[in-house]
């Protein structure tokens, strides 16, 4: 588990692992999801699977702007 500031570490995807590629053979095949709490979008999730081992995954989550301020009020 790694925690980092996405704004400070811009190239977080360049982690040295081999991730499954799209059909073009260059771009990492990565899924993008928005997770909701009730009916409000709260988190973004990006995930990718390893090239050699499909059970190896990278998942990146972050809070959406505005969700925290809505929860505080």
Q: Among candidates 39, 31, 40, which has minimal Cα distance to 61? A: 31
Residue 19: pLDDT band with limits 50, 70, 90: very high
Residue 61: pLDDT band with limits 50, 70, 90: confident
pLDDT at 29 (0 to 100): 94
Higher pLDDT, 14 or 48: 48
Mean pLDDT along residues 21-34: 92
CA torsion, ordered 13, 15, 19, 24, to nearest 10 deg: 50
Q: What is the pTM (predicted TM-score) of this model?
A: 0.69
pLDDT at 71 over 70: no
């Amino acid at each position: 588990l790694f925690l980092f500031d996405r704004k400070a570490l811009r190239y977080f995807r360049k982690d040295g692992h081999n991730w499954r590629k799209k059909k073009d053979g260059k771009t990492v095949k990565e899924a993008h999801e928005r997770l909701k709490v009730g009916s409000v979008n709260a988190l973004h999730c990006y995930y990718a699977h390893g090239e050699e081992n499909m059970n190896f995954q990278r998942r990146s989550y972050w809070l959406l702007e505005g969700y925290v301020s809505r929860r505080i009020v």
